[in-house]
Chains A and B, each alone.
Chain A
Amino acid sequence: MNRREWLWECGGGLGGIALAHMLGAEGLLAQPAAGGAPTGGLHHPARARRVVQLFMSGAASQVDTFDYKPELIRRSGEKFDPGGKVELFQSMPGPIMKSPWKWRQHGECGKWVSSLVPHLAACVDEMAFVHSMISNSNVHGPATFLQNTGFVLPGFPAMGAWISYGLGSMNENLPTFVVLPDTRGYAPNGAANWSAGFLPASHQGTRIRAGAPRPIHDLFPPETARYITPAGEAEGRRLLERMNRDHMAARADDSRLEARVRAYEMAARLQLSAPEVLDISGETQATRGLYGLDDPVTADFGRRCLMARRLLERGVRFVQVWSGADNGHPRRNWDSHEDIAKDHGEMGAGMDRPAAALIRDLKARGLLEDTIVYWTTEFGRMPCSQGSKGRDHNPFAFTSWLAGGGIRGGVSYGASDEWSYKAVDRPAYCYDVHATVLDLLGIHHERLAVLHNGIQRRLTDVHGHVIGEIQRSPRRPA
């Protein structure tokens, strides 16, 4: 095993020791982490320390939320003829369909937002919108991979895994990358969306099933195992360590053996810290109200957003919260082919208040300053109708927005055409948003790379431009 592999294995093992620490330990890190925010960063000073990603699974419509097009209202019901051939996923293009929601300007920036998301509308001065997002696929599976991993193919590390690999943990008692899937089920691609791919397994997303009796897999033995008792566990841990120390005595040069002993110590700490972080009973009535825990419409996503805040607060680096499960019927995600008013209505109402609460709560606690909130979806929806009330997939234009951690609030970057059919002004891809987020975290997206099967792989593939326009203080290239 060479040194790189040793770091790979043991760095993975200790969780807290990721690339930044290794480089720091070797004196390769130009600027070691200084106290207070912002921290050191891997390649340049960081302006954010952590990320929470809100993923709208199934394709959330831009034309019914944040991408205001008066032309659609004016010409609703007319033939959709943007020029050129219109190739849809499932259907033939129907007439132009205006949004069933009303539009109004909000905030100091005067952003037009639909009445589907009134709470988020109140936060527009914190948010930067990218209206010219394009996906390379109009199929949910590949497109969802693309937003998560930068590749339409399965098998690549998720953004959270890359960031965990690059920056490591801020709390050795908790996982670095945590995922809170929709309680109704997994999004397309399942757990592969938060895989570590070819990075060490320690960087994969740890799934927390909010509200389930056993939220973290194997955190504790099953209750049915009566033979396992707290006293037996405590004594067993000591004996196990003694056995391992004996075994190690004649193998002192093999650091993996020591690393494994440390992994068991960390496991014990995780058993202590995880239940505390997941227990929201101590949150005030006001906080619970803010996230909508008292309303069945918002309670589920609200609980998970609140857990996300608790995890971030305790040093988890990357939290991913899903809104929407698989593409089944009745609809349980944003894939509203049949009835946008009904299905987006339900998804939007469930997501809006909690997402806005997360921004406000993070801000109130001083965490928004160095936490990036990143809202995305796999692609957009068409300005024309499908059937009479639904919308088909639109990979050519959709909206993502970001807030907090070095993001300039109240701005909109790029634009779609007058229909919101195709991105025309400064088209952007997930590569660009990923590069921008990494940049704020102090990572140069081209330099966070790993050689795998002959190719230097990175989150941004061979693409990516940092979007300085949505950053508060864009970094000048060195």
Chain B
Amino acid sequence: MKILVCISHVPDTTSKINFVENDTQFDTQGVQYIINPNDEFGLTRAMWFKEKSGASVDVISVGTAETEATLRKALAIGADNAIRVNATARDAQQVAKEIVAVMQENSYDLVIAGRESIDYNGGMVPGMIAALTGMNYLNNCIGLEIEGNQATAIREMDGGKETITSPLPLVIGAQKGLVEESDLRIPNMRGIMMARKKPLTVVEPTQEGQQVQTVSFEKPAPKGAVKLVDPENIDELISLLHNEAKVI
């Protein structure tokens, strides 16, 4: 089975968010970059398939040279090949199309992308890859088993979950629950050494144009101070919630 895992290079979850260039660019100064957490759940599941049934695992990312450290981490975790499309990610459809262009060169049975990335929270790339290639697609994937050419997956819905079967090839949107957090892989030393020798191919982009542009960024208005209520005076809290906040 050939698996492709799509990786995003994103700022760490605890990063301070600031903007520069007149609030048009994200301030990368001092920011630690990581594999998007949802992608990592997907990559870990891919590794499970590799270990259990000898699947091959390629990882792909759309980004400029500094994103290679993140791809190498995926290689250190155990992926076989890495591909970097040498372009800045501009919007979801551009990223999806670049990935689809690479997919045409190899036929993948399973494409895994994180359900959504923690920086722009678009949540569209896996769905777009599916729509562009005509592959089946399952979002919010919290369980995946593959037997021969058939996948059985669990999708998390608002208020419950459903089990879905689908023939391969399939695209899934991975998230927490697909594997447990305690199963996420820390690259071992052997892996880090081997990652050096594994192929990291850089391909030139094929897409031009942009559908969505960021005009500016804005930090949320500084919050007013909290209104503290005396624990002996809960009546006041109820009153504030009803009359002032209007939430009860």
Genuine A/B complex:
no
